[in-house]
């Protein structure tokens, strides 16, 4: 018996056409969604408040925003960035660069806060320009005097702040074993830091370098 060619009335033909059509539409939608991303600037490394932004501080990354309005809060790679941008708060490596975290140089109104730290509580690699966290750890002696363990504050007392000055130990408080650091801190963070510092009995100040 000879095989016959399916006619246009054959339902198998229409099922095949429908499958092809659905595949084409699905493929078009998939390609369309794949292109629904925007290239925006992100921090290449940990950056602290007061840092001036240079080209090598940023890296382009593609992001899809669920709400198109969210894009307005960030810098796309097509935006022309001013040459004197300065961070007003810390931005972690890989974090998108928010418009609200930058200002023109001199607008951030950062305070220069000096702190004295035991030399062994500061990484030797900390220098001017380093981004650091500052922890206040209650001393064991204060816990013993109070008859119990003093509550340790959660997280750093200062987060992602930039070191403005970091003189070597022999230029600072060598006789006491202390090392002085000068940090760029905004006004609100400085108030919180000194309030916390005053609430603890002889805390141990510890510096953790980022990056």
- pLDDT tens-place string over residues 2-21: 555 555 566 666 666 667 76
Alpha carbons 205 and 173: distance in angstroms, whole number = 15
Q: What are the pLDDT digits (tens) for 119-175?
A: 899 998 998 888 899 999 887 654 444 444 455 567 899 998 889 888 876 655 556
In a domain, 1, yes or no: no
In a domain, 45, yes or no: yes
Pick the last residue of a domain from 77, 107, 137: 107
Pick the last residue of a domain from 107, 141, 166: 107
In a domain, 37, yes or no: yes
Pick the last residue of a domain from 84, 107, 130: 107
Q: Which domain holds residue 46?
A: 11-107
Alpha carbons 143 and 52: distance in angstroms, whole number = 42
Q: What is the 3-state secondary structure (H, E, C) of 91-135?
A: ECCCCECEHHHEEECCCCCCEEEEEEEEHHHCCCCCCCCCEEEEE
- 121 and 43 share a domain? no
Alpha carbons 159 and 161: distance in angstroms, whole number = 6
Q: What are phi and psi of 141, to 5 degrees?
A: -65, -40
pLDDT computed for residue 5 by the predictor:
54
- 103 and 116 share a domain? no
- 74 and 146 share a domain? no
Residue 72: CATH number of its domain? 3.90.1210.10
In a domain, 168, yes or no: yes
Total number of domains constituting the chain: 2
pTM: 0.60
């Amino acid at each position: 018996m000879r095989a016959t060619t399916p006619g246009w009335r054959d339902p198998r033909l229409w099922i095949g056409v429908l499958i092809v059509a659905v595949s084409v539409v699905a493929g078009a939608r998939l390609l369309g969604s794949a292109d629904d991303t925007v290239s925006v600037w992100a921090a290449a490394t940990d950056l602290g408040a007061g840092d001036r932004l240079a080209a090598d501080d940023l890296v382009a990354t593609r992001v899809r925003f669920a709400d198109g309005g969210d894009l307005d809060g960030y810098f796309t790679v097509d935006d022309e960035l001013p040459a004197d941008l300065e961070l007003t708060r810390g931005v972690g490596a890989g974090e998108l660069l928010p418009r609200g975290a930058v200002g023109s140089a001199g607008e951030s109104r950062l305070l220069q806060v000096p702190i004295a730290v035991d030399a062994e509580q500061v990484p030797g690699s900390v220098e001017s320009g380093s981004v650091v966290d500052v922890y206040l750890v209650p001393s064991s002696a204060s816990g013993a005097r109070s008859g119990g363990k003093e509550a340790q504050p959660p997280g750093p007392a200062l987060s992602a702040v930039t070191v403005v000055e970091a003189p070597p130990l022999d230029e600072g408080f060598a006789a006491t074993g202390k090392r002085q650091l000068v940090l760029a801190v905004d006004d609100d963070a400085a108030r919180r830091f000194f309030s916390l510092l005053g609430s603890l009995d002889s805390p141990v100040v510890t510096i953790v370098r980022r990056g």
